[in-house]
């Protein structure tokens, strides 16, 4: 086995993928497959962790104790999701601290949706409903991803995520059925989060050069545009049901295709936010960096205590 | 200041009485007590377990996947270990 040339190893690797045999951490894999996964999984992990910030903003201001308990549980789940994913990325030989530092220096990206501010309580509804809804759309096919640890992490995440979407939908539909002011809050949140939610699926397929290879490796199972269309098709009727209007004048059900046609996404805005010029990019990364720096003494103290105990035990 | 990274731990969960502990993932913790507490928070937030094992990852020794063929060959070549290897005549039951 060790004497096999690289072409033969690659052929066997692709054969496993084609036969839907999962790749596990110690199996041989092409370097580009490893690097693609490290990039994708660490960015996914960062998104979970940074995603705690816009919602964490509202924990102390939730309108009642039930909402507060639910939001707290949701944000705790996001921390858990980040940890599953950092664990998965470590199985690929990546250094966890390095991937986190890459986030803090701006080298690594995270989902651009979290660079938008959460200015009203209705945003907690819009985020759960739309952002978690879009994330579920993205993550369900990832449960069948060819890399075992990533797929297993996604199964856990998806199980937990459906409560996130439901609690958000509960918040926004209740507001939508409330006083005119409350309905206005719900509509305003939808207006601000609709387009960024559509951008979460990434650039159009024609502008996404890595998609083809990722599909061949079964890291990705559906294209960005396919997932985006699925999301629009399921979400538009939900908005109608609760009496809210999707902020897209070109949105129209197409009888021929059976799908909703929708307007053109403002990709200039998307790339600006990705590049770091969104409304909250700096604030988010600063908050993460501060959390790591401020917690350094706690981690050091815990490690020093553990080492001291080990020495005491040995003597 | 030790400035050392917390070690990596593998987490095993028994989901209910009567089942074995199953590997669920890994996490970082300074010591075994913290590893168990973190495992509770990370892997059992929805009653997934009633018992937790943690093992420091560098104490796990694994077989080499590239040698799996030769390692497991003895099992593949002994069909007579399986009941279907044997013909049971018609009329014989409870066997």
DSSP characters over A155-203: HHHHHHHHHHHHHHHHHHHHHHTS-HHHHHHHHHHHHHHHHHHHHTT-S
pLDDT of residue B95 exceeding 90, the answer is: no
The answer to whether the CB atoms of B28 and A96 lie below 8 A apart is yes
Confidence of residue B2 (pLDDT cuts 50, 70, 90): very low
The answer to whether the CB atoms of A83 and B27 lie below 8 A apart is yes
Which of A1, A307, A310 comes nearest B2 by C-beta?
A307
Question: Would residue A48 be called left, alpha or beta, if left means φ above 0 and alpha means ψ between -120 and 50 degrees?
Answer: alpha
For residues A262 and A275, give the distance between their C-alpha atoms in angstroms, rounded to a whole number. 25
pLDDT of residue A188: 98
Residues contacting residue A157 through CB under 8 Å, at least 6 positions apart: A81, A84, A139
For residues A55 and A164, give the distance between their C-alpha atoms in angstroms, rounded to a whole number. 12
Three-class SS state of A115: helix
pLDDT of residue B57 exceeding 80, the answer is: yes
For residues A39 and A294, give the distance between their C-alpha atoms in angstroms, rounded to a whole number. 26
Q: The tokens of A31 are what? A: 């370097």
The answer to whether the CB atoms of B65 and A26 lie below 8 A apart is yes
What is the least distance, in Å, from the CA of B26 to any CA of chain A? 6
What is the least distance, in Å, from the CA of B14 to any CA of chain A? 16
Average pLDDT of span B56-69 = 93
Q: How many CB atoms lie within 10 A of CB A123?
A: 27
pLDDT of residue A3: 66
pLDDT of residue A2: 57
CB-facing half-sphere around the CA of B84: CA atoms within 13 A: 1
Phi and psi, residue A178, nearest 5° = -90, -150
DSSP characters over B11-77: EEEE-STTS--EEEEEEE-SSHHHHHHHHHHHH-TTS--SEEEEEEGGG-----GGGHHHHHHHHHT
pLDDT of residue B3: 62
The alpha carbon of residue A51 and the mean position of all alpha carbons in its chain are separated, in whole angstroms, by 8
Chain B residues whose C-beta is within 8 A of a chain A C-beta are 1-6, 8, 25-28, 30-31, 34, 41-42, 45-46, 62, 64-67, 69
For residues A230 and A128, give the distance between their C-alpha atoms in angstroms, rounded to a whole number. 17
Q: What is the pLDDT along chain A (315 residues), one digit of tens a residue?
A: 556 799 999 999 999 999 999 999 999 999 999 999 999 999 999 999 999 999 998 999 999 999 999 999 999 999 999 999 999 999 999 999 999 999 999 999 999 999 999 999 999 999 999 999 999 999 999 999 999 999 999 999 999 998 999 999 999 999 999 999 999 999 999 999 999 999 999 999 999 888 899 999 999 999 999 999 999 999 999 999 999 999 999 999 999 999 999 999 999 999 999 999 999 999 999 999 999 999 999 999 999 999 999 999 998
Which residue in chain A is spatially nearest to B9 when comparing CA positions? Answer: A87
> Taking the model in full, what pTM does it have?
0.93
Angle at which helices A180-199 and A224-241 cross, to 10°: 170
pLDDT of residue B77: 85
pLDDT of residue A219: 96
Beta bridge partners of A24: none
pLDDT tens digits, one per residue of A7-41: 999 999 999 999 999 999 999 999 999 999 999 99
The alpha carbon of residue B1 and the mean position of all alpha carbons in its chain are separated, in whole angstroms, by 36
DSSP characters over A236-292: HHHHHHTT---S-TT-EEETTTTEEE-----HHHHHHIIIIISTTHHHHHHHHHHHH
**The length of chain B, given as a count of residues:** 95
For residues A306 and B9, give the distance between their C-alpha atoms in angstroms, rounded to a whole number. 14
The answer to whether the CB atoms of B67 and A1 lie below 8 A apart is yes
Contacts of A84 in chain B (CB under 8 A): 25, 42
Q: How many CB atoms lie within 10 A of CB A165?
A: 19
DSSP characters over A59-94: GGG-SSHHHHHHHHHHHHHHHHHHHHHHHHHHTTT-
The answer to whether the CB atoms of B5 and A305 lie below 8 A apart is no
pLDDT of residue B25: 94
Going along chain B from its start, the domains and CATH numbers come out as 1-60 (3.10.20.520)
């Amino acid at each position: 086995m060790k004497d096999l040339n690289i072409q033969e190893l690659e052929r066997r690797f692709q054969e496993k993928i084609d036969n839907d045999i999962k790749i596990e951490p110690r199996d041989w894999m092409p370097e580009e497959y490893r690097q693609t996964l490290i990039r994708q999984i660490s960015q996914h992990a960062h998104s979970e962790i940074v995603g705690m910030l816009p919602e964490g903003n509202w924990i102390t201001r939730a309108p009642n104790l039930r909402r507060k308990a639910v939001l707290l549980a949701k944000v705790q789940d996001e921390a858990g999701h980040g940890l599953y994913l950092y664990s998965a990325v470590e199985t690929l030989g990546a250094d966890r601290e390095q991937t986190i530092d890459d986030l803090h220096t701006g080298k690594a990206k995270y989902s651009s949706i979290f660079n938008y501010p959460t200015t009203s309580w209705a945003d907690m509804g819009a985020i759960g409903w739309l952002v978690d809804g879009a994330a579920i759309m993205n993550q369900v096919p990832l449960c069948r991803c060819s890399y075992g640890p990533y797929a297993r992490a996604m199964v856990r995440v998806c199980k937990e995520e459906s409560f996130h979407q439901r609690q958000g939908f509960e918040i926004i539909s209740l507001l939508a059925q409330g006083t005119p002011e409350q309905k206005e809050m719900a509509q305003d949140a939808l207006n601000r989060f609709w387009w960024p939610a559509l951008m979460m699926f990434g650039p159009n397929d024609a502008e996404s050069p890595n998609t083809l290879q990722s599909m061949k490796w079964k890291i990705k199972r559906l294209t960005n545009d396919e997932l985006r269309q699925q999301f629009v098709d399921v979400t538009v009727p939900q908005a109608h049901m609760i009496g809210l209007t999707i902020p897209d004048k070109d949105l129209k059900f197409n009888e021929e295709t059976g799908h909703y046609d929708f307007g053109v996404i403002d990709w200039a805005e998307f790339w600006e936010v990705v590049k770091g010029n969104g409304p909250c990019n700096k604030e988010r990364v600063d908050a993460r960096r501060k959390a790591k720096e401020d917690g350094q003494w706690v981690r050091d103290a815990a490690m020093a205590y553990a080492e001291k105990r080990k020495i005491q035990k040995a003597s | 200041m030790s400035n050392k990274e917390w070690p990596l731990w593998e987490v095993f969960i028994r989901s209910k009485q009567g089942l074995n502990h199953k590997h669920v993932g890994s996490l970082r913790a300074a010591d075994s007590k913290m590893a168990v507490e973190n495992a509770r928070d990370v892997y059992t937030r929805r009653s997934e377990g009633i018992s937790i094992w943690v093992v420091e990852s560098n104490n796990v020794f694994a077989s080499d996947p590239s040698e799996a063929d030769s390692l497991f060959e003895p099992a593949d070549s002994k069909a007579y270990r399986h009941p279907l290897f044997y013909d049971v005549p018609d009329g014989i039951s409870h066997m």
